[in-house]
Amino acid sequence: MLKIEKNMLQFMQEHPNLKYVFFGGKGGVGKTVLAGAAALWFAQQGKYTLLASTNPVHSLTSLLDQDVFGKPTPVKGVPNLIAYEIDTKDTIERSKKEIREKIEWFLKYADIKTRADEFVESATMNPAFEESAMFENMVDLMFKDEYEVYVFDTAPTANARRLLGMSSVYSLWVDKMVESRREAQALRRLLSFTKREEKDPLMEYLLNFRDRINRAKALLTNAEKTAFFFVTLPEALPIAVIRRFINWFQDFGIPIGGVIVNMMIDRNAVGDNPPEFVLNRIAAQEHYLKLIEELFNGMVRAIIPLYETEVRGVEMLKRTAKALFGE
């Protein structure tokens, strides 16, 4: 069995100021369950905790057996724990409205006689628009600073990478936009009859937006406050996914908290004469556990067993939290 050099509890003790905790990985590996278990554990430590889903395909309501969609909702039976499935549709519609207002203002400022509709459609049909809207919503939650700990159940890793990497991408984009806007202002002044300084709401927006992005980036890259945990099964494909994505997250400067191995079959729990099918699965898992040790040496924080029933409801989450934190 793989030796864990530093378990989840030890990691948390070394990072007492941890505030933003993310769980991600390939689809179907148990991200929601482990995010829920971690959030429950923080709440049990007396920390006012938000468990939020940024995954467009939400699972928190099913996990908790109560409706947490659309607004922060106290979790029954767990003091200090609030759960929230972010309403992607509302977020997108709000972002569309804001973009429309900005485009209409820009067209009016530039004295361009056309409707904003096609520009709005063009801007919001971008495949990354949903992630962009979700990023804005996530940042709003972080900036409100209403909770002591935020645990985010993210979308499958590729989406999570785009979501969290947006602070870096936005930084480059907004710097370029500010530079272009300054050049446009200089040209406008040069061609204008009046040398009077004009108010420029677009420049004000860009500067405010840059401040907001820099602030978000500072939080997301702060190793004392932020950690991203990758969840994998002892199987080839989930391991390959996180092997590739760990390097990409490091490129964005997002601190890696570690790797959690989920759904490991306990050899001692299957009895003396298990079916051949079970023995084959156990042998395969042990093979991949060696690969995990080789690839993620020192980064594995916990190995969670495959339970006799699905993890659903608070009682099963408590059981999973004990396994996650080695208590």
The three-class DSSP label of residue 214 is helix
User: pTM of the full predicted structure?
Assistant: 0.84
**∠ CA 6-258-26, rounded to 5°:** 145
Question: In angstroms, rounded to a whole number, what is the distance separating the alpha carbons of residues 77 and 314?
Answer: 7
Residue 216: CB atoms within 10 Å: 21
Question: 76: closest CA among 311, 68, 297?
Answer: 68
C-alpha gyration radius of the chain: 23
Secondary structure (H, E, C), 137-198: HHHHHHHHCCCCEEEEECCCHHHHHHHHHHHHHHHHHHHHHHHHHHHHHHHHHHHCCCCCCC
Q: What is the pLDDT along the chain (327 residues), one digit of tens a residue?
A: 688 999 999 999 999 999 999 999 888 999 999 999 999 999 999 999 999 998 877 899 999 999 999 999 999 999 999 999 988 777 777 777 777 777 777 666 666 666 666 666 665 666 566 777 778 888 889 999 999 999 999 876 655 566 666 666 666 666 777 777 777 777 766 666 666 666 677 777 778 888 888 888 889 899 999 999 999 999 999 999 999 888 888 888 889 999 999 999 988 888 888 889 999 999 999 999 999 999 998 999 999 999 999 999 999 999 999 999 987
Residue 205 near residue 102, CB atoms below 8 Å: yes
Which residue has tokens 């929230």? 84
Note the pLDDT of residue 310. Answer: 94
Note the pLDDT of residue 20. Answer: 96
Note the pLDDT of residue 196. Answer: 64
By DSSP bridging, strand 20-24 and strand 49-53 are unpaired
Note the pLDDT of residue 97. Answer: 78
With the C-alpha atoms ordered 52, 67, 65, 45, is the resulting torsion angle positive or negative?
Answer: positive
